[in-house]
Amino acid sequence: MDVWFWQLVHLLLRDGYRIARMPEHGDEIWLESGHWRRPTLVRLVRADFDWSRSLRLDIEYTWQFIRQMNGRKIGKGGRVVNVYVMAYPPVDDWEFLIAEPLPLSGAADGAFHTLLIHSGNTGEMLPRLEEMTGATLRPAPLVGEADPFAAAERLKHEVLTEWRRQREEERRIFEYGKPLFTRLLIVVQVAMFLILEWSGGSTDPSVLIHYGAKFNPLIEMGEWWRFLTPMFLHIGFLHLLTNTFALYYLGWTVERLYGSLRFLLIYTTAGFFGTLASFLFTPSISAGASGAIFGLFGALLYFGTVYRHLFFRTMGMNVISLIVVNLLFGLLVPGIDNAGHIGGLIGGFLAAGAVHLPKRVAWRRQMKALVAAALLAAAGLWVGFR
């Protein structure tokens, strides 16, 4: 059954599954599907339990582990398939343990299925596993390998090699670029803050307007450059401090993911869309990098549409939670330009879609994002200046 176990892993990998978790002892592997509409998480375990009590304890532990997992959402209609590969089943009654699936976060949000495959029921269990995973699982006889142990070790070595390759690929995704423009933008906004303070104070409306804050009457008179300059100005030290910290952490991540030039384009586009939304919906003077910073959130959301499982396994829920909390905070606290935040979020998402991710090409998606951004910007400018 060792050969069967590693063959099943190989067949799932061939059908588009990715290794999500692989403990060092190697007799347990977690794989995830690439299908976002119906996500499936498969746990394969090579184990021999003499008694059903050991099987029951392992099922319960795994079920509780799944229910408490952070960073991964099984989602509505998704499922977890917990598969035991055994030479022989437990000697006492065990069928009742796997007769019905267990719920995950409510009956509508997915189910936890358990299958037990042993030497006497493969013909019955494999079709059920195929139905649950959507994969074609037909282990073929190993030609030319008389030693099953050697065959199992070879298959295991191939899986471990794939696991190392996958981890290296993911590491490179997060370390593509160096945060050059992040540092430069922080220096620029701190320098501009000092200039504002030296010129009369960063909270003085006349000083802010003089140095390029968003001021609707002057934009309507033709000073279009005010769609970009507000992202470098801040009103008060606390405003500068919060945006600088946000730019440092978000910019560092986004610039490493997208590379410096893509990052700069995303940041400036998001800043433009943030100011445009503020111009359309708020008449007051405004300044700050918040719209551009929300655009970095948008870029991370777009990353999640390309690498869905990697996104939710690493930062996904934290990013979504921060977006929701900040938007709610902007709605509840007066004086915060929430229109600029939402505009920046949309602009950053569309800009990220237009430039896409390094070493990946998706011309259709990129053209759709570019056209959507251009149409949205044109519509906003037409409404604002008519």
List the catalytic residues: 290, 341
- Tokens found for residue 305: 């549409």
Residue closest to 181 by CA, chosen among 121, 254, 277 = 254
| CA–CA dist 46, 25 (Å, integer) | 11
Instruction: Walk across the sheet containing 18-21 and list its strands.
Output: 18-21, 28-32, 40-46, 79-86, 111-118, 102-103
CA distance 246 to 295: 12
Burial class (CB in 10 A: 0-12, 13-18, 19+), 307: middle
Query: DSSP secondary structure string, 307-321?
Result: SHHHHHHHTHHHHHH
Amino acid at 178: K
Q: Is 375 buried (19+), middle (13-18) or exposed (0-12) by CB count in 10 A?
A: exposed
How far is residue 95 from each of residues 98, 132, 260, measured CA to CA in Å?
6, 18, 57
Alpha-carbon span 41 to 108, nearest angstrom: 17
Say how far apart CA 286 and CA 216 lie, in whole Å.
Answer: 10
Structure tokens belonging to residue 43: 């746990």
Residues sharing a CB contact under 8 Å with residue 34, sequence separation 6 or more, in sequence order: 16, 17, 18, 308, 309
